[in-house]
């Protein structure tokens, strides 16, 4: 069903809590509804919003805002396979053009060549033959999720189902469709790691298409869907995720392993107390198969609870303090530049001081933007109605609930300038200004 309203309040659809309105607001709850929208006649610009978790509205939106209420989660297939699954033919298999140039992605097949009209996607997803090759055996559970599903609701569902893959992404605000556009990430995991296909409506060709994960052009908080030449063209209808029932814990990021060990130590389950010693020692490998994980008591639900605890301790509750989560991307610099930053830090703090960082391929180093911002003295600082969160300097908050966009933008610019002056590093916002 399509619903249209005018001068619609967007306060609850942007996590910053900016009190703005959209000239025209359209909400839909099925893929079939998209066929009935006359996109050429919509007031411009057109913005598709997925919870507004990475948006900073600078004013009332003068065009049309679209919002998906396509809400379903459905297991499509569970395969224990050798090699890979050959599902709906990919765009690369059907055409030779480069998808990065917004070439024709493959049409999504359904009944009579059209997508199903209801919420059940069982005839429109991952189906096909198993292709044998020499790759190791792997178990995958393919799950189709509507674009309007709250992403954390999906994470909760997956954890309860015993499915691994998205537990590290728990408690990230926003919706599933937006997650595939933004390539959300946290604690060593990006959503691209578990995406199989992204299904969309092409508003130019007026047809349903899909992109294999390789064709989505995923990078750090980036995808083909954000690029100027195609931005706004493709509306995500649903995403097919490749999850696993075999344990795949990823605990190497930051102090996550220590946090899991702490939870294990307070448990009455003897399996978890044993697991604590393995994690704390750092020398014992994590369970890598279902049997050993069961013996250790390690589950995606457990890791999800740890992630949520960490995020609640570090990040503001959106209903209390509006924010967009991480405001800046973590910068990536050459090794020689990092060594200069490290040398300066040791000269200031002592020879034993360690600069947090993550080594990347090709001699590059990722430095937490939060560390740089804190070193510049911004943690907890206010500017009018805006402030840097006192528990996580990577977060700018609508401190009073009445902050003006200009106050947030002004704070952003001053932070960028101070980091540039001190470290010679240019910070770039994750947040999009609209």
Q: Render pLDDT for 249-268 as a digit per residue (tens, 0 to 9).
A: 888 887 888 888 777 766 66
Positive/negative CA dihedral, 91, 95, 101, 102: negative
- The secondary structure element, H or E, covering residue 271 is helix 270-281
Which pTM does this prediction carry?
A: 0.80
- 319, pLDDT greater than 70: yes
Average the pLDDT over each of 66-80, 177-191, 370-384, 402-416 and give the range with the smallest value: 66-80
* More confident of the two residues 395 and 130: 395
Active-site annotation holder among 68, 244, 278, 326: 326
Q: What is the mean pLDDT of the chain?
A: 83
Chain-centre distance of CA 32, in angstroms?
26
Cα(84)–Cα(81) distance, integer angstroms: 7
For this structure, is 221 an active site residue? yes
Please state the rounded mean pLDDT for residues 267-281: 57
What's the CATH fold of domain 2-68? 3.30.43
Beta bridge partners of 150: 175
Where in the chain is CATH 3.30.43.10?
Answer: 2-68
Contact 184, 174 (CB under 8 A): yes
- 97, pLDDT greater than 70: no
Cα(245)–Cα(289) distance, integer angstroms: 9
For this structure, is 430 an active site residue? yes
| Residue among 226, 177, 167 nearest 198 (CA) | 177
Active-site annotation holder among 179, 221, 233, 278: 221
Strands of 364-366's sheet in order across: 332-334, 364-366, 358-359
What's the pLDDT score for residue 1? 87
What's the pLDDT score for residue 121? 39
For this structure, is 295 an active site residue? no
- 8, pLDDT greater than 60: yes
From residue 84, alpha-carbon distances to 124, 129, 217, 276 in Å are: 19, 9, 21, 35
What's the pLDDT score for residue 192? 97
Positive/negative CA dihedral, 254, 255, 259, 260: positive
What's the pLDDT score for residue 268? 60
Residue 336 has a CB neighbour count (10 Å cut-off) of 9
Residue 179 has a CB neighbour count (10 Å cut-off) of 29
Contact 124, 108 (CB under 8 A): yes
Please state the rounded mean pLDDT for residues 119-134: 36
Where in the chain is CATH 3.90.78.10?
Answer: 322-433
CA dihedral 29, 223, 170, 12 (to 10 degrees): -50
What's the pLDDT score for residue 276? 56
User: What are 429's two structure tokens?
Assistant: 């916002």
- 287, pLDDT greater than 70: no
Average the pLDDT over each of 80-89, 236-245, 345-354, 372-381 and give the range with the smallest value: 80-89
Residues 6+ apart with CB under 8 A from 39: 46, 203, 206
Average the pLDDT over each of 5-19, 315-329, 359-373, 403-417 and give the range with the smallest value: 315-329
| Residue among 285, 283, 313, 308 nearest 298 (CA) | 285
CATH number of the domain located at residue range(s) 322-433 in this protein = 3.90.78.10
Confidence at 59, pLDDT banded by 50, 70, 90: very high
- 101, pLDDT greater than 80: no
* More confident of the two residues 100 and 140: 140
Q: What percent of the chain has pLDDT over 90?
A: 65
| Residue among 31, 30, 57 nearest 45 (CA) | 57
- 228, pLDDT greater than 80: yes
Where in the chain is CATH 3.30.465.10?
Answer: 73-243
Residue 374 has a CB neighbour count (10 Å cut-off) of 16
Please state the rounded mean pLDDT for residues 421-429: 97
What's the pLDDT score for residue 256? 86
CATH number of the domain located at residue range(s) 73-243 in this protein = 3.30.465.10
């Amino acid at each position: 069903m399509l619903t249209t309203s005018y001068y619609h309040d967007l306060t609850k659809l942007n996590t910053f809590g900016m009190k703005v309105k959209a000239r025209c607001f359209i909400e839909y709850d099925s893929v079939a509804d998209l066929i009935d929208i006359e996109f050429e006649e919509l007031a411009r610009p057109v913005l598709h919003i997925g919870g507004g978790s990475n948006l900073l509205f600078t004013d009332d939106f003068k065009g049309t805002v679209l919002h998906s209420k396509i809400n379903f989660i459905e297991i499509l297939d569970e395969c224990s396979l050798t090699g890979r699954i050959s599902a709906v033919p990919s765009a690369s298999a059907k055409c030779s053009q480069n998808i990065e140039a917004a070439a024709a992605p493959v049409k999504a097949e359904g009944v009579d060549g059209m997508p199903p009209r209801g919420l059940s996607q069982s005839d429109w997803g991952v189906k096909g033959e198993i292709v044998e090759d020499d790759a190791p055996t792997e178990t995958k559970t393919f799950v189709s999720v509507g674009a309007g599903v709250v992403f954390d609701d999906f994470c909760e569902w997956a954890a309860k189902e015993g499915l691994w893959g998205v537990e590290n992404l728990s408690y990230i605000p926003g919706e599933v469709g937006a997650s595939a556009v933004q390539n959300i990430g946290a604690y060593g995991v990006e959503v691209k790691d578990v995406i199989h296909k992204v299904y969309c409506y092409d508003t130019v060709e007026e047809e349903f298409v899909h992109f294999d994960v390789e064709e989505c052009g995923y990078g750090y908080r980036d995808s083909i869907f954000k690029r100027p030449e195609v931005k706004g063209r493709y509306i995500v209808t649903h995403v097919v995720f490749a999850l696993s029932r075999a344990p795949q814990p990823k605990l190497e990021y930051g102090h996550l392993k220590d946090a899991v060990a702490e939870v294990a130590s307070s448990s009455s389950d003897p399996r978890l107390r044993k697991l604590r010693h393995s994690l704390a020692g750092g020398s014992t490998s994590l369970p890598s198969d279902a049997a050993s994980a069961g013996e250790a008591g390690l589950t995606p639900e457990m890791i999800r609870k740890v992630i949520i605890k960490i995020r609640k301790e570090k990040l503001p509750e959106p209903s209390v303090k509006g924010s967009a989560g991480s405001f800046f991307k973590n910068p990536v610099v050459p090794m020689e530049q990092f060594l200069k930053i490290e040398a300066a830090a040791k000269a200031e703090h002592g020879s034993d001081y360690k600069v947090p960082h993550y080594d990347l391929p090709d001699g590059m180093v990722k430095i937490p933007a939060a560390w740089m911002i804190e070193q510049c003295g911004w943690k907890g600082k206010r500017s009018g109605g805006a402030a840097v969160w006192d528990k996580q300097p990577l977060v700018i908050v609508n401190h009073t609930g009445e902050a003006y966009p200009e106050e947030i933008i002004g704070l952003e610019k001053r932070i960028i300038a101070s980091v540039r002056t001190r470290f010679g590093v240019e910070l770039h916002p994750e947040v999009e200004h609209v």
